[in-house]
Amino acid sequence: MLGLDAPGAGADVTTVLHGDEVEGRGLDATETSYLHRIRLLGATGTVLMAVGALGAGAQPVLQNPVQGVRGLGLAARMPSASLTLAMTGTALVILSWLLLGRFAIGRRDEDGAPRRLSRSQLDRTLLLWIVPLVVAPPMFSKDVYSYLAQSEIAARGLDPYAIGPAGALGVDHVLTRTVPNIWRDTPAPYGPAFLWIGEKITHLTGENIVAGIFVHRLLALVGVALIVWALPRLARRCGVASVSALWLGAANPLLLFHLVAGIHNEALMLGLMLAGVELALRGVYVAESTTRLQVAGWLAAGTALIALSSMVKVPSLLALGFVGMALARRWGGTLRAVLAAAAVLAVGAGVVIVLVSWGSGLGLGWTKTLGTATEVRSWMSIPTLLGMGTGLGGVLLGLGDHTTAVLSITRPIAAFVAAVVTVRMLLAVLTGRIHPVGALGVSLGAIVLLFPVVQPWYLLWAVIPLAAWATRPVFRIPTIAFSSVVGMILMPNGGEYQPFVIVQASIVTIVVVGLLIVATRSRLPWRLQERTPPRPAETTGA
């Protein structure tokens, strides 16, 4: 049950979620033509999102660069129109992503061989969709303003782990004004590496909010670039087609909307973690010609990157455990091998953590604020949803609101279940039942779903690693559906709108998208063909 038994023929996590894929052939001429149009449709969507964000995005309270500007400032005075543009663009991006999936997951020729778009075709598509969001105002979240305020606190020599923006900077400070009220008196929940980088950004941009936003977005793009670099390599290591993994992981609307447009530091955390896992696994699964020095170099580099990612957000340190179990299996799979691997990786990670904590001047204060996010009650968290539902039921029955008491029960139980799943996956890696990348994704999935607070972008913690390993419909179909639905329902201002404004924008979005589908019914592959047509000559350009 705990994964200590030897691999067998029974249905386990690996057989349920994973199956090998081949890279496949390139697209034919007709499919390449479709790809061009899908790419253009998605780019149109991100442009509409960027324009709509001028009035419907998570704009700063002060230093709004479009406020009062002729033409650009008009969007802020037309909230319904701006929200409609943003929602229509969001819908077009999601539909384009779904259409692109037909060529990423692949369709089969008569001989059974799959046809997929090439890596370069997918890279160019992803780049085209990202560019408009890079120059857009922040969307879907105001967390970047917390980043700026907490970085200013560190730059002043104060302790961001002991005092919040309101206390350190003052409630009327330009950087405090746009921080959501719930976080104004809250210490920073992020690792010292992120705040150290943020401190340097503050020294560069000062109190200029717009400049600070764009530098933080560049930092997020570095993380996205690391994801795009590592994901196909991990996929090939797991026997999965690289374009399938990139489509589901890197081109996912949640990544585009929340890591690029929303500027969340999950981009840097995930990018460093995945790059570290890839480098470390090069030291685990080595060719006979590899020297010990090379093995040590790969392991050291991978360990350092994973440890550094945990200094952005701590959960990524879990990846080191799965690398350690894979290394222990290579060293014989005994208890002594487990202890030796744990010692080696712990020393390497400890050195990085101490250097970052000491070098940043922030010390170990980050260990005291790890539970800060639990102040929010999120309906996407299973234990929190159960607690809130039970509390609501008590109110309706006249028994009183016992939500807090119920949460004190459901959250520890959920944490215990997540710990059991993680231990089982670690042992399964040790016994060779599951690939470490898949085990990492499953464990992060359990942690995210059972975490006290789940934000939409937290789902990427599990989706991106699993995209490199899990290929079965039982994983892909729910992931595709959930990514599409969650990507569509969140408001682009990172807050709330009046219900009638949302209804108006939704109706117009449905009408516009419906008319677009009718107008392009013969120019885009909205419907799957029943029979595979004779294969024209292959083309490589796109």
Q: Are 42 and 91 in contact (CB under 8 A)?
A: no
Q: What is the reported pLDDT for 72?
A: 66
d(CA 134, CA 217): 7
Whether the CB-CB separation of 348 and 304 falls below 8 Å is answered with yes
379 φ, ψ (degrees, to nearest 5): -70, -15
- Residue 306 scores a pLDDT above 70: yes
- Min mean pLDDT across 24-33, 93-102, 105-114, 263-272 is at 105-114
Question: CA-CA distance, 418 to 411, in Å (whole number)?
Answer: 11
pLDDT at 312: 93
Between CA 524 and CA 38 the distance in angstroms is 7
CA-derived radius of gyration, the chain:
24
Backbone φ, ψ for residue 397 (5° rounding)? -85, 0
For 62-110, write each residue's pLDDT tens digit. 877 777 666 666 777 788 888 999 999 999 999 999 999 988 887 766 6
Burial class (CB in 10 A: 0-12, 13-18, 19+), 98: middle
DSSP output for 260-271: IIS--THHHHHH
Average pLDDT, integer, range 19-42: 86
User: Could you tell me the two tokens for 516?
Assistant: 């677009």
Residues 6+ apart with CB under 8 A from 477: none
Q: Which two tokens stand for residue 528?
A: 């799957």
Answer for the pair 114, 532: CB distance below 8 angstroms, yes or no.
Answer: no
CA atoms within 13 A on the CB side of 288: 0
Q: Could you tell me which residues come within 8 angstroms of residue 472 by beta carbon, excluding any fewer than 6 positions away? A: 16, 17, 18, 19
pLDDT of residue 43: 95
Residue among 249, 426, 238, 415 nearest 320 (CA): 426
Could you tell me which residues come within 8 angstroms of residue 286 by beta carbon, excluding any fewer than 6 positions away? 294, 295, 298
Question: Quick check: 117 and 69 in contact, CB under 8 A?
Answer: no
**In angstroms, rounded to a whole number, what is the distance separating the alpha carbons of residues 418 and 103?**
35
| Residues of the chain above pLDDT 70, percent | 86
CA angle, 492 then 498 then 501, to 5°: 75
Tokens describing residue 128? 């085209």
Torsion of CA 528, 529, 534, 537, to 10 degrees: -30
Q: How far apart are CA 465 and CA 463, in angstroms?
A: 6
**What is the structure's pLDDT at 530?**
43
Q: Mean pLDDT throughout 134-143? A: 90
pLDDT, tens digit (0-9, with 9 covering 90-100), for 413-457:
888 898 999 999 999 999 989 999 999 999 999 998 888 777 888
Distance of alpha carbon 44 from alpha carbon 33, whole angstroms: 17
Q: What is the pLDDT of residues 198-251, one digit of tens each?
A: 999 999 998 899 999 999 999 999 999 999 999 999 999 999 999 999 999 999
Contact 277, 67 (CB under 8 A): no
- Please name which of 58, 9, 104 lies closest in space to residue 491, comparing C-alpha atoms: 58
> Is the pLDDT reported for residue 541 higher than 80?
no
Residue 8, phi-psi category: left (phi > 0), alpha (psi -120 to 50), beta (remainder): beta
The CA-CA-CA angle for residues 475, 320, 304, to 5°, reads: 125
Reply yes or no on whether the pLDDT at 355 is more than 90: yes
Q: Tokens representing 403?
A: 């939500």
What is the crossing angle of helices 382-396 and 436-450, to 10°?
20
Q: Which residues pair with 25 in a beta bridge?
A: 115
DSSP tag of 334: S
Adjacent-strand bridge partners of 82: none
